[in-house]
Structure 1
Amino acid sequence: MEKRTVLWYMTFWGFALNSVYRMNINIAIVSMIKHPVKASNVTLISECFQHNTIIESNNNNSQVILPTKSNDDDKFEWDEHQQSIVLGAFFMLHMIMPIPGGILAQHYGGKYVFGLCNGLAAILSFAIPASAKISYKALTGIRLIQGFIAGSTWPAMHTMTAKWIPKHERSWFVSAYIGNSVGTAVIYMTCGYLIDLYNWEIVFYLTGAIGLLWYICWTYFVYESPAVHPTITEEEKSYIESSIGKQIKSSKPLPIPWKSLLSSKPLILNVLTSNGGMWGLFTISTQAPTYFNFVLGLSVKQTGFWAGLPYINRWIFAFGFSTFCDHLIKSKTMSVTNVRKLSTFFCNILQGLLILGISFCGCNAIASITMVTLTAIVNGCSASGVLAGSVDLAPNYAGIILGLTSTFGVFAGFVSPIIIGLFTYHQQTLGQWSKVFYISSAICCSTGLLYILFANSEVQKWNNKYDSDDIEKEMNDIKKKTNSNDQNSTNN
């Protein structure tokens, strides 16, 4: 098996686990919270629950109780604001680390940064049940640290992608990043059943153990670049190095051209578009279990299954679409820029329209699930869109660029739950959730339109700036030495 294929598999499962650490709380919290949360003896609940509610009267106060077989002894009375803080905590410090993570990967290697961050996040998963029993603030603290550590993973992997993967294979390889969809699907679908059989704590113990196993395999099977891999064939090594050698010329860390980076129009558009697509994805992936359970009235098993299924389909579509995009580039049927724009149309604009469609589904659970599924599927095109596009712009600084993209993109990860918490505070109604979907749709569509109209994916001049400077300096030194020798000959 080719070594870059091995890297693809290990990267795939690495991102799957990275997503598990982000998303495991989303399905677990459905069983961590007592139903319903009270507010001044009045509980406001979605109209979709009317046919499933039990009304209890006590001292002339009516209270809506949701049917459940679970014991509430291990559950918590956290309101929507507290829940939104817990759900968004992972992303609050997560956005600090992508740029430093890219710098660390550039200096110390993407293998070590990516592997270590995932490994530490796995260890912290074991601490979540105990911290939740202390208070939601203690749980928030663990999630803050876990998110902070995991924030370096994406830019670290981009550094390795630039070293290992030729340009016409990048859409295919970056589909491994969409392993996060499989991670989301697996955690939702399996843990819904595990929670029903055992309790919510099993989610965190199981994911922590699997994460540690992956870290051992990553350390043993993965190497930083083809040049240092001890068992790679000369044929594969030569193929990779000849394909990317013209773009990545320096084996030592290069100075970072911050001014060029921050003023680059293609990069700014890439960041904005990525942020828009991630806003839509985070809204759906983070909140789908809550929406299905609290609003549509699905059980925890149904919630886990239907919230997870879209992400299996997302990865399958992403893999097939990215292979098709690589074919378009390799056969020169479309330019790299136009392929990235085609992908962005699906990932942002079509995703935004589908999110808008959820608001028109009402209490029709089948229609809502279908819309959520389609929304997740088309978001998978990001692998052949802005994700691959960030490597196209400047392979020498791929990790730094994805760091910038992730810093702003992860902003959606903690702002979206807060906004949803404000809209749905004691108001788990279709009307309030429709407002959430309107906002997400507008953000997705507007950023996608900007990219299609104005972006490009050509390698930027500043990618090789320091290589050019080094060549010019070397030539000047040669001229000076030649002139000096001529002068010495004349004097003699």
Structure 2
Amino acid sequence: MKLIFISLVLSIMKIRIRVVVGIMMFLGYFLIYIARYNLSVHILDMTRVTTSDIINMQNINTTTITRTSETRQGLTVGVLFMDDWKIGLLFSAYHVGYCVCFPIFHTVGDRLGPTWIVGIAGMISGISNCLTPAAARYKFWLLFGARVVVGFCAGAMSPSMVQLLRHWVPPTERHYFMWAYCGITAGTFSTFIICAALQYYARWPVGFYFTGGIQVLWAATWLIVVADYPQKHAFIPRDELIYLINTIGTTFTIKLTNSQAPWRLILKSVPFWALCVLNFGYAWLITSVCVHGPIYYTRVIRYSIYTASALTAMPFFLRLVLGTCILQVFYWYKHNEHIMRVKRLRKYFIVVSHVLPGLIICSLWAIPVVPGPVLITITVALTAAGMDLTLDLCYELSPTFFNSIYTVIKIIGNVPGIIVSLSVGFVTSKYKDYAYVWKHIWCFHALVLLLSGIFFLICGETTVQSWNNVRDRPLQSRPNQRPHYLSNIIEVDEDDNTIRTSSNRKSSSINKKQITPTQL
């Protein structure tokens, strides 16, 4: 009955099912990134000590401070005296779980089905968020484990949603659905606003309950309105189903595509590693601002928790607006044949997204100025030119093995979350939260971004690589196969190191019949 009602509503509103899938993906990424960075705001309240407590800390013992905190905040017992090193461990826990899980579910999703993986992982992540306050009250390592579980679930959801989009978006509409990935940036800037508002009207545990409850609700809705394929969807209109079958064709599984990838050639490819380095530097700066922005503004520049959260959110809001506009203009330019072509246009984007922001912050090493909200906001906003750049460059390097190389690049891109969290925790624990210490930290972050951009400008490529049409072993014939819209796969045989097109397979894959309503 519910499915009939939903189908009727969508028919009246004339909303395509693939648009609904895109909206659910947007919300999925939105919630993933709220769960990813909510600790950056809540940790300030979890470990906060009043001014009078700090003044009298040398005159009273630890038991008295703990009892005072218990009366004032209740749930902060056990986390009040968390030093910077333990805070760094907590920040790294999410990324540890993500890096472990992402490659596993990148291929498992083909066997279990991406819809169920996303739905179940979303529910587990929501439950873990709801249990976080209890874990924090009980024991540090239990809190650490809860954060690892949240990261593990995100590592299962992200690649599964990417796989799902392959079955729902025709190649001619691919650029229209890039907005689904904007949930990443929207979720990032919304995290700091939402969590700060919840802390203002309640306390930090409410922030985790809210995030967890919304995730569980979204996961349940996902399982109702989303399916692995258009053919499996319960209430997709007949005309939309025919259109998707005819325009998308058969999609090869990720496992099958990975088994055909010429990994020896890929790992020897300088443009591939240049793209890995580019994304590494990009992720390094973005992660450092998200994780340590509220702490820096609060402890060093002495803003309140709420002002610090708003200042951390501001550059990501600007990045979302600018990035969305840049993406739309770029794809309009890309599909407009009447405009003069600019060679290697993507490299000009990297100058704006990597080189210029890196130079702005690194220049502070030469002058006695500490990075403030204005400089950090400008730096992050400029990275909008690189929003979704890695995704697009992966496709340009290798349409055939797009998912394979994107998996490796994403894993490498999440390593900075571990390194930044632990290294900054160690440095601030040893040298304290002095302004000059943080100045060197921010300049080093900018240096990583700058060097990664320069390396790609020198060694990177924005054209299809020669190994794109090479397979590690011949592809097994599969009945009624139709080419994947992301891969443009052409069946080939390898003979005496020469790749030749197999006319029989090519004719069977290209000369295919269109699906008509009578065939369904």
TM-score range relative to shorter protein: 0.7 to 0.9
1:32-68 per-residue CA deviation (whole Å, 9 max, x = no partner) reads 00338xxxxxxxxxxxx9xx9985596699xxx9xx9
Among candidates 205, 209, 212, match of residue 209 of structure 2: 205
After alignment, is 419-428 or 158-167 more displaced?
158-167
Among candidates 437, 445, 448, match of residue 440 of structure 1: 445
Correspondence for 2:482: none
Provide closer, same or farther for how the CA distance between residues 288 and 350 of structure 1 changes in structure 2, counting only shifts above 3 A.
same
Task: Measure the CA separation in 1 of the matches of 2:361 and 2:340.
Answer: 29
Task: Measure the CA separation in 2 of the matches of 1:231 and 1:320.
Answer: 34
Correspondence for 1:13: 27
Offset, 1:230: 5.6
Correspondence for 1:488: none
After alignment, is 104-113 or 86-95 more displaced?
104-113
Provide closer, same or farther for how the CA distance between residues 362 and 121 of structure 1 changes in structure 2, counting only shifts above 3 A.
farther
Runs of 5+ unmatched residues, structure 2 = 1-14, 476-489, 494-499, 508-520
1:78 aligns to what SS in structure 2? coil
Correspondence for 1:291: 296
Task: Measure the CA separation in 2 of the matches of 1:338 and 1:232.
Answer: 41
Count the aligned residue pairs. 453
Matches within 5 A, 1:10-89: 10-35=24-49, 71-75=72-76, 76-89=80-93
Q: Normalization by structure 1: what TM-score?
A: 0.80
Provide closer, same or farther for how the CA distance between residues 315 and 418 of structure 1 changes in structure 2, counting only shifts above 3 A.
same
Among candidates 172, 192, 204, match of residue 188 of structure 1: 192
Q: Contact 1:154/1:403 (CA < 8 Å) preserved in 2?
A: no
Task: Measure the CA separation in 1 of the matches of 2:461 and 2:341.
Answer: 10
Look up the equivalent residue of 1:405 and give its one-letter code: I
Task: Measure the CA separation in 1 of the matches of 2:156 and 2:461.
Answer: 26
Matches within 5 A, 1:91-490: 91-165=95-169, 170-226=174-230, 228-229=232-233, 250=252, 253-254=255-256, 255-257=259-261, 258-332=263-337, 333=339, 338-356=344-362, 368-425=372-429, 427-460=432-465, 462-463=467-468, 465=471, 466=475, 467-469=490-492, 475=504
Task: Measure the CA separation in 2 of the matches of 1:151 and 1:420.
Answer: 24
Correspondence for 1:44: none
Task: Measure the CA separation in 2 of the matches of 1:458 and 1:189.
Answer: 40
Offset, 1:281: 0.3
Offset, 1:31: 0.4
Task: Measure the CA separation in 2 of the matches of 1:290 and 1:303.
Answer: 8
Alpha carbon RMSD of aligned pairs, Å? Answer: 3.6
Q: Contact 1:314/1:378 (CA < 8 Å) preserved in 2?
A: yes
Offset, 1:435: 1.4
Provide closer, same or farther for how the CA distance between residues 215 and 355 of structure 1 changes in structure 2, counting only shifts above 3 A.
farther
Runs of 5+ unmatched residues, structure 1 = 37-48, 479-492
Look up the equivalent residue of 1:284 and give its one-letter code: V
Provide closer, same or farther for how the CA distance between residues 72 and 216 of structure 1 changes in structure 2, counting only shifts above 3 A.
closer
Task: Measure the CA separation in 2 of the matches of 1:191 and 1:240.
Answer: 40
1:71 aligns to what SS in structure 2? helix
Provide closer, same or farther for how the CA distance between residues 360 and 22 of structure 1 changes in structure 2, counting only shifts above 3 A.
farther
2:22 aligns to what SS in structure 1? helix
Task: Measure the CA separation in 2 of the matches of 1:315 and 1:84.
Answer: 27
1:343-364 per-residue CA deviation (whole Å, 9 max, x = no partner) reads 3333322332344467799888
Task: Measure the CA separation in 2 of the matches of 1:81 and 1:151.
Answer: 25
Provide closer, same or farther for how the CA distance between residues 153 and 268 of structure 1 changes in structure 2, counting only shifts above 3 A.
farther
Task: Measure the CA separation in 1 of the matches of 2:358 and 2:415.
Answer: 18
Offset, 1:284: 0.6
Identity of aligned residues (%): 22
Provide closer, same or farther for how the CA distance between residues 20 and 427 of structure 1 changes in structure 2, counting only shifts above 3 A.
same
Q: Contact 2:167/2:251 (CA < 8 Å) preserved in 1?
A: no
After alignment, is 253-262 or 294-303 more displaced?
253-262
1:437 aligns to what SS in structure 2? helix
Offset, 1:260: 4.0
Look up the equivalent residue of 1:422 and give its one-letter code: F
Q: Contact 1:357/1:371 (CA < 8 Å) preserved in 2?
A: no
Task: Measure the CA separation in 2 of the matches of 1:60 and 1:200.
Answer: 26
1:224 aligns to what SS in structure 2? coil
Task: Measure the CA separation in 2 of the matches of 1:234 and 1:60.
Answer: 74
Correspondence for 1:486: none
Look up the equivalent residue of 1:78 and give its one-letter code: M
Q: Contact 1:154/1:402 (CA < 8 Å) preserved in 2?
A: no
Task: Measure the CA separation in 2 of the matches of 1:336 and 1:12.
Answer: 31
1:152 aligns to what SS in structure 2? helix
Offset, 1:275: 1.0
Look up the equivalent residue of 2:439 and give its one-letter code: S
Offset, 1:320: 1.1
Offset, 1:84: 0.8
Q: Contact 2:75/2:133 (CA < 8 Å) preserved in 1?
A: no
Task: Measure the CA separation in 1 of the matches of 2:246 and 2:269.
Answer: 28
1:87-124 per-residue CA deviation (whole Å, 9 max, x = no partner) reads 11111232122222221234444434334333321121
Correspondence for 1:41: none
Task: Measure the CA separation in 1 of the matches of 2:264 and 2:306.
Answer: 51
Provide closer, same or farther for how the CA distance between residues 377 and 252 of structure 1 changes in structure 2, counting only shifts above 3 A.
closer
Q: Contact 2:196/2:305 (CA < 8 Å) preserved in 1?
A: yes
2:227 aligns to what SS in structure 1? coil
1:438-485 per-residue CA deviation (whole Å, 9 max, x = no partner) reads 221111111112223332344445555435247967849x9xxxxxxx
Task: Measure the CA separation in 2 of the matches of 1:56 and 1:443.
Answer: 41
Q: Contact 1:170/1:388 (CA < 8 Å) preserved in 2?
A: no
Look up the equivalent residue of 2:452 and give its one-letter code: T
Task: Measure the CA separation in 1 of the matches of 2:221 and 2:192.
Answer: 24
Q: Contact 1:175/1:318 (CA < 8 Å) preserved in 2?
A: no
After alignment, is 168-177 or 8-17 more displaced?
168-177
1:223 aligns to what SS in structure 2? coil
Offset, 1:243: 6.2
Q: Contact 1:94/1:149 (CA < 8 Å) preserved in 2?
A: yes
Look up the equivalent residue of 1:74 and give its one-letter code: L
Provide closer, same or farther for how the CA distance between residues 400 and 54 of structure 1 changes in structure 2, counting only shifts above 3 A.
same
- Relative contact order, higher structure (CA 8 A, sep 6+): 1
Provide closer, same or farther for how the CA distance between residues 273 and 337 of structure 1 changes in structure 2, counting only shifts above 3 A.
farther
Q: Normalization by structure 2: what TM-score?
A: 0.76
Task: Measure the CA separation in 2 of the matches of 1:346 and 1:263.
Answer: 28
Q: Contact 1:88/1:417 (CA < 8 Å) preserved in 2?
A: yes
Task: Measure the CA separation in 2 of the matches of 1:79 and 1:165.
Answer: 48
Offset, 1:16: 0.9
